[in-house]
Amino acid sequence: MVSANMISRVYHHVGHDNYLEVDYKEGGWLHSRIMHSKDYNRPSGFTPVYKDVYIFREEDLPDVIKTAQSGDHGLWGSDEDY
């Protein structure tokens, strides 16, 4: 469960200057987006790569990170979204 004292948004490096933004929601749900960092290898100045948000359960986070790191971004959008 997310409380006011917890960090609710974290970033996982998934390759080059892209990060997986994970926003923790109530009840064990997570919202994620692929984000581009304006600074190479330093998470800052983010802009979304795709318009879609992928929603999943917290226990699926390791698999979602692996999917993003593999370059398979189909969960978040398609080539038309660039």
Task: Write down the domain spans for the chain.
Answer: 9-77
Question: In angstroms, rounded to a whole number, what is the distance separating the alpha carbons of residues 54 and 39?
Answer: 24
pLDDT of residue 77: 82
| pTM to 2 decimal places | 0.84
The per-residue pLDDT for range 19-77, each reduced to its tens digit, is: 999 999 999 999 999 999 998 767 889 999 988 999 999 999 999 999 999 999 899 98
pLDDT of residue 42: 72
pLDDT of residue 3: 53
pLDDT surpassing 80 at residue 82:
no
Beta bridge partners of 19: 13, 35
Burial 31-57 (b: 16+ CB within 10 A, else e): ebbbbebeeeeebeebeebbebbbebe
